[in-house]
Amino acid sequence: MIGKTGLLVLALTVAGCKADVDITTDKAPTAAEARTFVAAVEKDLAKKSVFAARTEWVNANFITEDTDAMAAKVSADMTALQVKYADEARKFNDLKLAPDLRRKLDMIKLGVNLPSPNNKKDNEELAKINASLGSLYSTGRDPKGRTLGQLTKIMATSRDPKELRAAWTGWRTISPVMRDKYARMVEIANKGAKELGYPDVGYMWRSNYDMPADDFRAEADRLWQQVKPLYVALQCHVRAKLNEKYGDKIVPLDKPIPADLLGNMWAQSWENIYDLVAPANSNIGYDLTDLLVKAGYDEKKMVKSGENFFTSLGFAPLPESFWQRSLITKPRDREVVCHASAWDIDNKDDIRIKMCTTITAEDFRTIHHELGHNFYQRAYKDQDFLFENGANGGFHEAIGDTIALSITPDYLKQIGLLDKVPSADGDLGLLMEKALEKVAFLPFGLMMDQWRWQVFDGELTPATYNEGWWKLREKYQGVRAPVARPADAFDPGAKFHIPYNVSYTRYFIAHILQFQFQKAACEMAGYQGPLHRCTIYNNKEVGKKFKAMLEMGASKPWPDALEAFTGVRKMDGSAVLEYFAPLKKWLDEQNKDRQCGW
């Protein structure tokens, strides 16, 4: 996840801030006034964003009532400021302006993640609700006092259905108290969106992709339809193998899969059940976690390895301040937000990560992902403030994941973790492991915001929040609640990105783009073998072109950035299908006599 990539994306805010821009006139606005307005807004927000980021950083690393209060105050003040600027930007709507100026004005209008109405009372209430929701999540424990980290470990390792169900239901006891707060947040934010000229917050979020909101909704569905057959084949095989393990009573073959049996608290990725579903005789030849432990990796060395990948492509090393100021290990003496994130504090060189690192294959990949954000942030640091961001949210998430796709046996040999590259005999195992992580995620990545769009436009009400959540999960994932959910349940709130209001479609797009980037990069490198075996480690020619795309930031519409690296202007799921083609062939053979679908 990205922690901060520019103030307008995260709607972080500054305590006691006051608008430094005041353009009030009864005369018809001019293009010159529009440019003066934008320049003044950029200067003001750039200055105030630094304190905003520091406040949010402290709150994430020292969760107390006091830091919650400070974060709420900060949030309220700058949200009001951003809403003011967004409202003032509307006066230039009918002017014919240069593309870069029009782009910046649109960013000012769309940059408020959760817009508050233009009154102090609602603004302050919205900020307090946001701080409260985040705190409830990050300090949550189940009825036995177990933390999310402890429960996550159970979900990943246990094969006892009773223990899994208890862990699954236990974590969801933290969220019912969120429901009414969340509903009030939706009410206030929608009011703010309407004042800015948008039907609701979901419509605003969909308008952030350089195309009309309805067109983007259709684009997301088009991409899903491209990759859906691969997912359906994977779901069918996984359900059949879980049925073999747990029996018809627990996993019927004609129903969606119970969500507590997939090795992940949210059933968003399934790699922890690899041992139950792996192809026979497809040992990949190594266990990455075991390799890291035996090689004596500690938390810092894990991060150093990620940095080394980027420097091998020609990127400058991370600044010394990164190592001084990042939070890489979980403190023993306080509550922190352990959800991994990358931060850009000053929009220049003060970049950091925050994660409770463990010596595991999962965190090895996560580090490469988070550093992708940091190196992206540093690449576009010389852009104008409003352009200091990813080409779209999906780009920012895809960069590090593209690098993580290069964590192949060949890469592990090059950095000394493997003595020799295993033969291709275990490639089905490699592909299955990756599919359980990447392909399994695709429908979850899509349905999260599908649910929020229905909440924001009123299709779902507080009384139907949970029912709507599980309808979408069954529709897209073929996954169901393992037990009947109580009337007051608010299961969406048990997922970090809901109480923290982080748009999730970016992750779905990232899971398309990373394979598209991988294919383009491997073609640039002249690689001739199967896509899943390709690593771009140490290839400075690919790195040069990669860096050129990152340096564009958000200065151009995302199709321009996509074209700069891949040569095409359209997102395309075909690279996903190419990457997993050998596995899809095998899955179809396994599923030949099975009833797939749900």
Write the pLDDT tens digit of every residue in 573-598.
999 999 999 999 999 999 999 999 99
Mean pLDDT comparison of 26-40, 161-175, 336-350, highest-scoring range: 161-175
Least confident interval from 6-10, 58-62, 291-295: 6-10
Domain total of the chain: 2
At 197 the pLDDT is 87
Query: Which position among 369, 373, 396, 497 bears the catalytic label?
Result: 497
> Does residue 462 belong to any structural domain of this protein?
no
pLDDT above 90 as % of the chain: 83
CA-wise closest residue to 125 among 114, 138, 110:
114
List, in sequence order, every beta strand (DSSP E) within 182-325: 257-258
Q: Which domain holds residue 52?
A: 1-113
**At 257, is the secondary structure helix, strand, or coil?**
strand
Exactly one of 370, 397, 433, 437 is catalytic; which is it? 370
Sign of CA dihedral 562, 567, 568, 569: positive
* pLDDT at residue 282, rounded to an integer: 83
Out of 113, 133, 167, a domain closes at 113
| Final residue of a structural domain among 66, 94, 113 | 113
Classify residue 541: in a domain, yes or no: yes
AA identity, residue 74: V
In a domain, 346, yes or no: yes
Q: Can you say whether the dihedral through the CA atoms of 264, 375, 358, 151 is positive or negative?
A: negative
CA–CA distance, 487 with 463 (Å, rounded to integer): 8
**Per-residue tokens: 242:** 């879980």
Residue at 191 is within a domain: no
Give the whole-angstrom CA distance, residue 214 versus residue 528.
39
158 pLDDT higher than 90: yes
Confidence of residue 12 (pLDDT cuts 50, 70, 90): very low
For residue 34 the two structure tokens come to: 């529009």
Cβ–Cβ < 8 Å for 407, 368: yes
Grade residue 42 by pLDDT with cuts at 50, 70 and 90.
Answer: very high
Mean pLDDT of the chain: 92
Rounded mean pLDDT, 70-91? 86
Share of the chain above pLDDT 70, in %: 96
User: What was the pLDDT predicted at 153?
Assistant: 93
Those residues with Cβ within 8 angstroms of residue 407's Cβ, 6 or more apart along the chain or in another chain: 288, 364, 365, 368, 535
Residue 3 has pLDDT above 70, yes or no: no
The question of whether 370 is a catalytic residue gets the answer yes
- Give mean pLDDT, residues 18-42: 78
Amino acid at 190: N
pLDDT for position 334: 86
Q: pTM for this one?
A: 0.89
Q: Looking at the domain assignment, is residue 395 inside a domain?
A: yes
Please check whether residue 107 is in contact with residue 38, taking contact to mean a CB–CB distance below 8 angstroms.
Answer: no
Length of the chain: 598
In a domain, 322, yes or no: yes
Which string of b and e fits 131-169 if b means at least 16 CB within 10 Å?
Answer: bbbbbbbbebebeeebbbeebbebbbebeebeebbbbbb
Largest Cα–Cα separation, the chain = 77
Domain boundary among 82, 113, 144: 113
475 is a domain residue: no
pLDDT value of position 90: 87
The arithmetic mean of pLDDT across residues 199-227, rounded, is 95
Residue 142 lies in a domain: no
425 pLDDT above the threshold of 90: no
